[in-house]
Amino acid sequence: MKASIRKVATFVEETRNEMGRDVDPPTRRAAAVAVIANPCAGKYVEDLSELMTIGEELGELLTLRAVAALGIPATTVESYGKAAAVGENGELEHAAAILHPKLGAPVRKVLGKGAALIPSSKKRGGLGVPLDIPLGHKDAAFVRSHFDGMEVRINDAPRANEIMVAVAVTDSGRPLPRVGGLTKDQIKGEDGLR
Amino acid sequence: MPDIQIRKKLTSVEEIFHEGGPLATTPLRRAAALVVIHNPFAGAYIKDIAGFMDDLRPLGLEMARSLVAVLGGDPGIVEGYGKGAIIGSAGELEHGALWHVPGGYAMREILGDAKAIVSSTKKVGGPGARLDVPITHINASYVRSHFDAMEVGLADAPRADEILLALVMTTGPRVHARVGGLKASDIKGEDGLR
């Protein structure tokens, strides 16, 4: 493995009740987060291909971990998202190199499908910085019930020369969706949008 | 006494490979189970609250079992533990103290006669408050390599009338423990201290 991983954390959230109303079945989502050394920290590096390769490795590892944490077959995942936080000696572009060129393909391979863009966010920050991972339906980005986000953080990461990389998956949308829009049973699944 | 009303659960696992030193032969894992419940005593001073400890017992056992499960299912690999609570703003610190007995004894029961007191912390806080749950060795509180802590919290909890309950288990010493003191291999195991 090209990435030097210091730690991996997984988070599983299950919501059973909102405002006194039961959520049945409960909504569940999971995130897997890797804390890795940033090989480009502290200097300007023109060619970021090493980070792109790391992104490819982490796409597979983190998706497998997140799906395992959720405990469902990978093909039944409904929505997904990704995010990265770069420590203070790195550039936002380092997060972009990990997230965008190569991370998505192994995510989709693990899930079996994934026609929609994987929503993403990135930031630079210090230890304990919260990472808000955007979530969207994996086959149709316009499914409104699945527009969501999951906050994760690790108190001791990212250190200055590290990057936190996260992949999140769900078995559902928001707990009590009721703002209309495209529903998941209306998905055509041709263009990744509707 | 009132039923336990659960709004949400979070299970998180950290796997630590190194912290700047040599790679651990067996990575340290820390797992936390958080459950957000309605605080039946929120908003008023209620004198008799102690009965709620019995109501919390099944939940404590369920959380302790879930931690063993996410660590692989064998209670024998658990070496450290801790517990904590965050009470929402309409409650009092004393409500968090209700967690000592059901949380602590649940873990000791599931781990099979663990001898050491379960270290703990608690506070009143708002949504997103973080809690550093202290961790000590399950059979001898003075084992220095196992003094540790895990930061936990949830972005949207506890709300004013809620309590966030936490249990934590770990599988070993700090990843680069090297400051001496009582070793796990030297535990006498008589008094829960040494």
Q: Which residues constitute the domain of residue A164?
A: 39-186
CA–CA separation, A80 vs B51, rounded Å? Answer: 43
Residue B191 C-alpha, separation from nearest chain A C-alpha, in angstroms:
34
At residue B3, the pLDDT reads 83
A13, B9: Cβ pair inside 8 Å?
yes
**Which pTM does this prediction carry?**
0.90
- The values of phi and psi at residue B114, to 5°, are -65, 135
Chain B residue closest to A156 (CA)? B151
Which of B8, B16, B18 is closest, CB to CB, to A15?
Answer: B8
Average pLDDT in the A62-78 region?
97
Residue A84 lies in a domain: yes
Q: Which two tokens stand for residue A185?
A: 């049973």
Q: Cβ distance A35 to A43 under 8 Å?
A: no
Whether A190 shows a pLDDT value over 90: the answer reads no
Residue A106 lies in a domain: yes
Q: pLDDT > 90: what percent of chain A? A: 93
Place A1 in a pLDDT band, splitting at 50, 70 and 90: confident
| Averaged pLDDT of chain A | 96
At residue B160, the pLDDT reads 97
Residues of B in contact with A155 (CB under 8 A): 130, 151
Q: Cβ distance B146 to B135 under 8 Å?
A: yes
Residue A24 lies in a domain: no
Residue B45 at interface with chain A, using a CB cutoff of 8 Å: no
- Helix (H) or strand (E) holding B95, with range, is helix B93-97
Residue A29 lies in a domain: no
List, for residues B137-163, the tens digit of each pLDDT value: 999 999 999 999 999 999 999 999 999
A12, B10: Cβ pair inside 8 Å?
yes
C-alpha distances in angstroms, B82 versus A11, A83, B46, B172, B183? 18, 30, 28, 13, 19
Q: Cβ distance B109 to B163 under 8 Å?
A: no
Which of B7, B12, B15 is closest, CB to CB, to A11?
Answer: B12
Residue A25 lies in a domain: no
CA–CA separation, A169 vs A77, rounded Å? Answer: 6
Residue A19 lies in a domain: no
b or e along B31-50 (b: 16 or more beta carbons within 10 Å of the residue's beta carbon)? bbbbbbbbbbbbeeeeeebe
Q: How many domains does chain A have?
A: 1
- Mean pLDDT, each 10-residue run in order, chain B (194 residues): 87 96 96 98 95 97 98 96 97 95 96 92 96 95 94 97 98 94 91 90
Which of B5, B11, B14 is closest, CB to CB, to A12?
Answer: B11
Chain B residue closest to A151 (CA)? B155
A13, B130: Cβ pair inside 8 Å?
no
B11, A7: Cβ pair inside 8 Å?
no
What CATH number is given to the structural domain containing A164?
3.30.1330.110
Q: Which two tokens stand for residue A178?
A: 């009721």
Residue A13 lies in a domain: no
> Which one of 3.40.50.300, 3.30.1330.110, 3.90.550.10, 3.90.180.10 gives the CATH number of domain B6-186?
3.30.1330.110
How much is the ipTM here? 0.83
CA–CA separation, B10 vs B66, rounded Å? Answer: 11
C-alpha distances in angstroms, B52 versus A21, B40, B164, B181? 23, 9, 15, 39
At residue B2, the pLDDT reads 60
